[in-house]
Amino acid sequence: MMVKRMIVGVTLTALAAVLIMSGCQKKKADGDAAAKTTISVLNYADLTVANAAANQKWTWDTFKQRNPDVNLVIEDQYNEPFHQKTEAYAASGNLPDVLYVWPSGRSTSLHRNKLLKDLGPLIAKDNLQSSYLPIALDPSQQASNYLAMLPFAITSSHVFYINMEVLNDCGLQPAKTYAELKAQVPILKAKGYETVIMPNKDTWVMQSCLFSAIAGRFCGAGWEDDVLAGKTKFTDANFVNALTFIRTLYTDGVLAPSSLGMDYGDGPGLFATNKGAYYIDGDWRVGAFITDSTTGQALIPVSKQNNFRMSVFPDIEGAKLNKSTSVILGTGWAMSAAIPSGSAREDAAWRVIKWLTGVEVLSRGVELGAYSTPTRTDIDVSKLKLEPLLMAAGNLGKEFTTGTCVIDGVFHSDVFNPLNDGLQEIGLGKKTPQQVADDMQRAFDAAKAAGKF
């Protein structure tokens, strides 16, 4: 009986210990859950681009593994739905904690209304000044005039992609001047090729990926500063001539009117399958052509990539400037100004931004074709595995001597939206270049009077 009582006693003691341990573990688990900081993220993600889905998964999964105390709630959006969602969040006063933004342009209202936190003090606190290119940390490059976002690249919004297979089939070489480009139209047409592929259904594409560069050619470097200072107007001859040149592209057959109904996403496939000799887009689009690490497939196989080149639009006779392209501080990451300084949310959100603009993520971005000119100063490009098209993107800077502005990166949306619509109307023959210039000047004067810049 004594032995039996001892066994029962030991069993009860063990059971009590188990219950106590279980209770402790539950409390610890509850405590761990309570200690997690939830960070909402609005992410701009084109998951149709090669490597995009796999890279997104690696980026977020790796952060979560290294930061178990942060609970990420990620919302993926792309193109117009992204901007519409951002505007809705801003209007409701409930911006996500971390969000993808532009230095100006489509994110101007976020900057102007000071909805984004100044990241300058956080950069200084962590002594990161030397880790980024000076332009990336220059507040004057952002519509807020403070460091509202941390960009991950410098962007060339205009690139003239060249398909040597198509040109060789027609006995041609890349056009060096516009006159040469125009002369190639009937030769290419006779073989069933388009001259220039450029999807223009989305109204921002013509303005950002071509017209901004053309405006720089006709108006000269720094022309936007003269407009902002009231020294020149959109209705002056140089700007009207730039608009007139866009009409000329259609009348000369360099651009097909059908491009005005072409979705932006259709361009890479058409160019990669030899439907045209040239293709106009931004430098970011190189990522659509390279090998997708998930499938091992590429729109342009590595074995053929040396047949494709990247340059800028040919010299235009009579232009003030040639061998130039439009460049801008790239997109990046921002933090909601509603997050209290010194809080756990600020610490967690800042870790997210540092990760997304850190050397590991940006190095992968270069390798996977997301961008060619990262803002980090500590990336050793010689150690990266780059396909021929990515090396061409890295050498794009050798193809031009001057960088001019991207219009939607300088002017308020009240000004560039009439231009975006007007460029389409010029292509469709619904408005003259002078009428579009008049619309822009009226919009500029009204926006300035309203104190919008």
Tell me: the pLDDT tens digits for 196-207? 999 999 999 999
d(CA 218, CA 240): 9
Tell me yes or no: is domain 158-327+395-449 CATH 3.30.420.40: no
User: pLDDT by residue (tens digit) across 324-339?
Assistant: 999 999 899 999 999 9
Query: What b/e string do you get for 109-146 counting C-beta neighbours within 10 Å, with b at 16 or more?
Result: bbbbeebbbbbeebbeeeebeebbbeebbeeebbbbeb
Give the residue with greater pLDDT, 295 vs 192: 192
Element (H, E) at 310: strand 308-311
d(CA 143, CA 201): 27
For residue 1, the model assigns a pLDDT of 40
Identify whether the C-beta of residue 254 lies closer than 8 Å to the C-beta of residue 185: yes
156 confidence band (pLDDT: 50, 70, 90): very high
134 confidence band (pLDDT: 50, 70, 90): confident
Identify whether the C-beta of residue 164 lies closer than 8 Å to the C-beta of residue 309: yes
Q: What share of the chain is helix, strand, coil (3-state, %, to 5)?
A: 55, 15, 30
34 confidence band (pLDDT: 50, 70, 90): low
For residue 306, the model assigns a pLDDT of 96
Pick the CATH number of 38-151+331-370 from 3.20.20.10, 1.10.3720.10, 3.30.470.20, 3.40.190.10: 3.40.190.10
For residue 3, the model assigns a pLDDT of 38
CB count in 10 Å sphere of residue 197:
25
Phi/psi at 278 (5° precision)? -135, 160
d(CA 306, CA 329): 28
Residue among 78, 84, 86, 82 nearest 46 (CA) = 78
pLDDT score of 13 more than 70: no
Taking residues 319-327, report their average pLDDT.
Answer: 95
Give the residue with greater pLDDT, 27 vs 288: 288
Q: What's the burial of 18, exposed, middle or buried (CB within 10 Å: 0-12/13-18/19+)? A: exposed
Supply the DSSP symbol for 36.
P
Q: What percent of the chain has pLDDT over 90?
A: 77
Listed range (178-192, 296-310, 389-403) with the worst mean pLDDT: 389-403
Listed range (15-19, 168-172, 294-298) with the worst mean pLDDT: 15-19
Listed range (71-80, 101-110, 240-249, 345-354) with the worst mean pLDDT: 101-110
pLDDT score of 437 more than 70: yes
Can 38-151+331-370 and 158-327+395-449 be said to share one CATH topology? yes
pLDDT score of 237 more than 70: yes
d(CA 408, CA 416): 6
For residue 451, the model assigns a pLDDT of 86
d(CA 259, CA 348): 45
Residue spans per domain, the chain? 38-151+331-370, 158-327+395-449
User: pLDDT by residue (tens digit) across 265-316?
Assistant: 999 999 999 999 999 999 999 999 999 878 899 999 999 999 999 999 999 9
pLDDT score of 20 more than 60: no
